Amino acid sequence: MDRSTEIREFLRTRRGRITPEQAGLEPDQGTRRVPGLRREEVARLAGVSVDYYIRLERGQAKGVSATVLSALARVLQLDGAERTHLFDLARPTAARTRRTRPLSPQRVRPTLYRVLDLLGAPAVVQGRRLDVLAANRLGYALFADFGARPHRERNFARFVFLDEAARALYADWDRVAADSVAMLRLYAGRHPQDPQLTELVGDLSLRSDAFRRLWADHDVVAHSTGTKRLHHPLVGDLALGYESLTVEGDSEQVLVVYTAEPGSASAEALAVLASWPGTAPPEPRARPQGA
């Protein structure tokens, strides 16, 4: 990912979404030629020269201060994820161009595998690029048997955009798809030189019109909790809350646990799924004498 292009498009798309009224400016009497704020309006509200802002929007972010970035975040009314993304994109040029070491492979600790097996709720360990690193049996049964897929295909974004089963599974597929792309965008700001990300984005862009359209929006999002609405082929409709817990020692590895409201129809359906042949946990093995 080219950071100059990324910061240019990010600032341009954010500027286009703020109306003069939202920014506290008097509405124009005539017709505006551009949607959202003009460059000079952003510059004035942020307290920088027009030439300086134009250079920033062209991707020339060398030497930009945190004060200026914070002012732009305020003017463009960025949320927390967008603000983080802007700061990631505007890292010093030296840090951008310096050769970085390849990212080490992510591995799930044996203790975390044991935690997965002990959980009575669907759970998935998610890594960089929305990779599915591990899951318990109920987690695989809820979404897809990622463990049986080739390593390249063990990825939620690939599942959402390239697997027809995902469109049938997610009751609100459009929102899930948009959030998946926005989470990849946020990751891209941190790791623009990740070759696996480049390969993933390139492949999805070639094979999915929906992905390509959403990627061009430059939206970013960070979710740690929320609700997933599913229509499961075996047990029907489910409304599940989820919590994403960062794994100690790897901030880009999260344990996502899905739960249903006690006594609800979703809880009953989840219990049926848990008892389905192939998803119930195995019987505990007898410990050898003296162990």
Same domain, 40 and 164: no
pTM for the model stands at 0.88
pLDDT, tens only, 118-131: 999 999 999 999 99
Same domain, 127 and 73: no
Is there a domain that residue 180 lies in?
yes
Q: Bridge partners of 158?
A: none
The alpha carbon of 87 is separated from its chain's Cα centroid by a whole number of angstroms, namely 17
Closest CA relative to residue 220, chosen from 14, 1, 55: 14
Is there a domain that residue 105 lies in?
no
| Per-residue pLDDT at 29 | 59
Crossing angle for the helix pair 173-190 and 80-89, to the nearest 10 degrees: 40
Instruction: Report whether 215 contacts 185 (CB < 8 A).
Output: yes
Q: Which amino acid is at 188?
A: A
Same domain, 190 and 261: yes
Alpha carbon dihedral 194, 200, 201, 205, in 10-degree steps, equals 160
| Per-residue pLDDT at 287 | 34
Which 3-state string (H, E, C) describes the chain?
CCHHHHHHHHHHHHHCCCCCCCCCCCCCCCCCCCCCCCHHHHHHHHCCCHHHHHHHHCCCCCCCCHHHHHHHHHHCCCCHHHHHHHHHHCCCHHHHHCCCCCCCCCCCCHHHHHHHHHCCCCEEEECHHHEEEEECHHHHHHCCCHHHCCHHHCEHHHHHHHCHHHHHHECCHHHHHHHHHHHHHHHHHHCCCCHHHHHHHHHHHHHCHHHHHHHCCCCCCCCCEEEEEEEECCCEEEEEEEEEEEECCEEEEEEEEEECCCCCHHHHHHHHHHHCCCCCCCCCCCCCCCC
| Per-residue pLDDT at 92 | 62
Q: Which amino acid is at 74?
A: R
Compute the distance between CA of residue 271 and CA of residue 238 in angstroms, rounded to an integer: 11
Q: Longest Cα pair distance anywhere in the chain, in angstroms?
A: 87
Q: Bridge partners of 131?
A: 155
CATH value at residue 206:
3.30.450.180
Is there a domain that residue 288 lies in?
no
| Per-residue pLDDT at 93 | 45
Q: Which parts of the chain register pLDDT below 50?
A: 93-99, 281-291
Q: Whole domain around residue 62: which residue ranges?
A: 3-97
| Per-residue pLDDT at 97 | 45
Q: How many domains does the chain have?
A: 2
| Per-residue pLDDT at 122 | 97
Same domain, 261 and 173: yes
Same domain, 65 and 120: no
Same domain, 117 and 253: yes
Same domain, 48 and 146: no
Closest CA relative to residue 2, chosen from 86, 53, 52, 59: 59
Same domain, 133 and 245: yes
